[in-house]
């Protein structure tokens, strides 16, 4: 107990670091957003004709994206939901750089009546680490 009191800043830093590492995935589980791995996403694309919704900014998208991805930056998603109406009955896999913005996009989609939404866990970082292909514009 003396150690904790004498090193309170170190303890707080350790707690903050732990939250930052694990808080993102916990937030996805608590929000009800379904997470998929890159391999599970590929299965959704190939077997269920899922739509890839890339919510990154233009420069990120142009640096490399999943083939046939629909690109709508997160900041524009609410005003452009009508573009996705025809995909309401299909699975939608949202993707960003790390999975945070896409998780938010999934929440927005669910509130708008899209039931089959999935967040690509780890985003494009995980996609590229899995050795899966990207396309540049």
Catalytic residue among 72, 96, 105, 106: 96
Q: Nearest to residue 121, comparing CAs of 95, 86, 85?
A: 95
| Cα 106 off chain centre by | 8
- Record the tokens describing residue 49, joined without a space: 């004709």
- Distance (Å) of CA 60 to CA 33, 57, 112, 131: 23, 5, 26, 18
Q: Which residues contact 106 (CB under 8 A, 6 or more apart)?
A: 33, 34, 92, 94, 117, 118, 119
Helix, coil or strand: residue 86: helix
| Cα 16 off chain centre by | 22
Determine whether 106 is an active site residue.
no
Active site residues: 96
């Amino acid at each position: 107990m003396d150690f904790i009191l004498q090193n309170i800043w170190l303890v707080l830093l350790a707690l903050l670091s732990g939250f930052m590492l694990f808080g993102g995935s916990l937030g996805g589980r608590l929000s009800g957003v379904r997470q998929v791995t890159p391999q599970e996403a590929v299965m959704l694309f190939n077997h269920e004709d899922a739509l890839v919704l890339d919510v990154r900014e233009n420069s990120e998208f142009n640096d490399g994206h999943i083939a046939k991805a629909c690109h709508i930056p997160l900041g524009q998603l609410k005003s452009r939901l009508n573009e996705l109406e025809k995909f309401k009955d299909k699975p939608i896999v949202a993707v960003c750089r790390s999975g945070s913005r896409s998780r938010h996009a999934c929440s927005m989609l669910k509130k708008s009546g899209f039931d089959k939404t999935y967040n690509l866990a780890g985003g494009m970082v995980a996609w590229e680490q899995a050795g899966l292909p990207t396309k540049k514009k």
